[in-house]
Amino acid sequence: MDRRSFLKSAAVLSTASTLPPLAPAVLAAEGEPARVRKYNVLGKTGLKMSDISFGAGKLPSASMILRAVDRGINYFDTAPDYGQSEKLIGEALSRHKGRDKMYLASKFCRAVPYQDGISHLYPGATKAEYIASVEESLKRMNTDYLDVVFVHALGEKPEYEAQKQRLTDPEMLAAVADLKKAGKVRALAVSSHGAHNMETLALDAVQTGHYDILMLAFNFLTFPKVPEVLKAAHAKGVGIIAMKTLAGAKDSGVKPEGATPFPHAAFKWVLQHPEVSGLVVTIKTTDELDLYLQASGQAFAAADQRALDHYAALFGSDYCRTGCGTCQSACPAGVEIGAILRHHMYFADYGDEKRAMQEYAGLERNAAVCETCADNDACNAACPYGLTVGEKLRAAHRTLSWDAPVAKG
């Protein structure tokens, strides 16, 4: 798509019309690799995204992108601080020549090493810095426009008003207006996986009227208020993308008789919600690509519920619900409980050790004080899901700290 064609299609966002859809993939014949079977319109953007879409946070190679495109995936989520992800997507684009078959989403973010644990742009950044962030992403990805740019990780810090200001930062909004006018950005989005005020901030985003898309943590173990956000966003034409759909990705690989594989069940549970256009899941291998795409276009069934029940029985009292925060007020030291346990999940379950340690190092109130907690782990009693929060915080500190003492015994 050239710049002139892009500018014509970008006007669709202001009128909430539907863009010409990508042709749906046909059902794979028996014995052929799994592929996308369903595409859904992403709110007022008119973009039709694959229901199973590609999270490129751990992208191993450009060829993985090409395989995904060949299987019908058309939405790719990346960021400047996802290692070599944007560069590898650029290599894939230079080989594929099919930019019109791909929707690219990135973030207002720095690619440099973490500063105080955070690379995302915050109020205080100038309009020029926001624009430069996008320009640098475009250069790395060998393209001249982004379909989506995100204000990312809303609620990663506990101060509500400071996080809310990110939604209406005048410098950011002015940058978006210029980028859209220049044909370099198509839609503005916001994302949150907590750990603080996720639903409240998401509703704030909807009410501003500035955002075309929400991407939220959402899975069958998440607290029940997210569906309210989905309905409010859908009523305003705001598209919904789900992430963190695997509820910690702790699957043991063992399933009870008559149950489907856990990833299929988890994906289908999320996609049964009519407000959700698609989900983004990290894909690192061809085996994962094959496995995940088998859930595309499939209805949620009793066998899926059996798989989810089995998972909940194994891990329900071990998984910290993304964005919950119920136990936070019980900590007299103000330890950032949800953020710490999310970073530990990235380390232990996602294999993203370096990033988890970098983000933990940037926290203002880490779990060092938990080693000598004088409040008898009051956070444990405050957890509605039965997690041993204090024990988990101490384990996280020992794992994520560069110089933490080794546990005795």
**pLDDT digits over 25-43, tens only?**
334 455 689 999 999 999 9
- Write down the pTM of the prediction: 0.86
CA 223, 224, 228, 230 torsion-angle sign? positive
DSSP 152: -
Digits of tens for pLDDT over the chain (409 positions)? 444 444 444 444 443 333 333 333 334 455 689 999 999 999 999 999 999 999 999 999 999 999 999 999 999 999 999 999 999 999 999 998 778 889 999 999 988 755 555 688 999 999 999 999 999 999 999 999 999 999 999 988 888 999 999 999 999 999 999 999 999 999 999 999 888 889 999 999 999 999 999 999 999 997 778 999 999 999 999 999 999 999 988 876 778 888 999 999 999 999 999 999 999 999 999 999 999 999 999 999 999 999 999 999 999 888 888 777 788 888 988 898 888 888 888 788 777 888 788 888 888 889 999 988 877 788 999 998 899 999 999 999 999 987 655 444 3
With beta carbons less than 8 A apart as the criterion, state whether 338 and 320 touch: yes
Using CB atoms within 10 Å of the CB of residue 44, give its burial: 0 to 12 exposed, 13 to 18 middle, 19+ buried: buried
Taking Cα atoms as reference points, which of 372, 329, 322 lies closest to residue 345? 322
In DSSP notation, 58-114 reads T---HHHHHHHHHTT--EEE--TTSTTHHHHHHHHHHHH--GGG-EEEEESB--SSP
Domains of the chain in start order, with CATH, are: 3-302 (3.20.20.100), 328-400 (no CATH)
Query: How far is the C-alpha of 407 from the C-alpha of 395, rounded, in Å?
Result: 9
> What's the full length of the chain, in residues?
409
**pLDDT digits over 60-102, tens only?**
999 999 999 999 999 999 999 999 999 999 999 999 877 888 9
User: Pairing mode, if any, of strands 48-50 and 52-55?
Assistant: unpaired
- Give the three-class secondary structure for 332: coil
Q: Which residues contact 359 (CB under 8 A, 6 or more apart)?
A: 114, 117, 118, 339, 343, 346
